[in-house]
Structure 1
Amino acid sequence: MSRARRSIDWGFPRWRGYGSSREAAQVRLCDRHGCNEPGDCPAPKSPNSPERWYFCQKHAAEYNAGWDYFAGLDKEAAAEREAQERAETAGYQESAHYGWAGSGDGTRSRDELRALEALDLEADATFEQVRKAWRNKAKEVHPDVRPGDAEAAKAFQTYQLAYEVLRAAEERREWRG
């Protein structure tokens, strides 16, 4: 009399790994023509529409690059919405102190980006580049070089403030380690 072999799938514990079935996994590809990456970033096809594109991370960033969150709002409404959302996300800003969060890629704040723009620098500029740009621009509009010129004095103050913002940010980064 032959004995039937017992499966190892009976009872508990289950001896075979969970999810080890042999079916093919469904992967949605990026909706960008010619892209074969997985499309796991949904983006609206049009405003207030439930329909979505599904892009890979690279194409989602490209799709969102020119998107203005405050489009169609006047200055007061945009400022009100920004203030409301800042209040709602204050915990995230607080966590930035501990290095848990940050804006954009986590390297620069909005004030720092404005300061870099005032000095005509890219967002990834090093502090040495900041110092050189600040010195060159400040030399051109320094009150000793252009006495009595109100526009030059205003530009000098702008460059000074931009440098102070970036210097303080650099000191914070060094302090954090």
Structure 2
Amino acid sequence: MAKPRRTNDWGFPRWRGYESARDAVTIKLCDRHGCEEAGECPAPKAPNSPDRWHFCQKHAAEYNSKWDYFEGLDKAEREERAQAERRDNTGYAEAQHYGWSGSGDGSRTVDEMRALEVLGLEADADFAAIKKAWREKAKTVHPDVAPGDAEAAEEFRKLQLSYEILKSAEERRVWNG
């Protein structure tokens, strides 16, 4: 009889890392014929059935694209169900203003995003690109270049304000580390 081996799974702290077992991990493959991807998205084989297909993301999207939520309902029931769905989901539509208002990763304020828009830059522009864009645009509408032009002066003020907003934001980022 073989002597049992001592494991490192006893006590606290764990003496081996999590997910570092030597056992083979079972991966369920996609049930779509010919697909070799991992089947991580379960889908029902039939309505009210516990049996599931397991698809990869691509084939799950294909499977769900043909799904008709209102299948089997007559016109009156279909309209009633759709109206109930709209009624129940209005809370989500009302709360949309709490989400991000534009592109970006959330590290920039709304004012900074507007300033970047004035300069014609993307949300992920670094300060060197900001400075370069400001200089190029300011050279064309500077009051010394276009004296007496009210539109050029207004555009220059917008560019100057945008640059100041982005410059102070950059200084805050540098200061705060």
TM-score, normalised to structure 1's length?
0.46
What TM-score do the two structures reach when normalised by structure 2? 0.46
Question: Which structure has the bigger radius of gyration?
Answer: 2
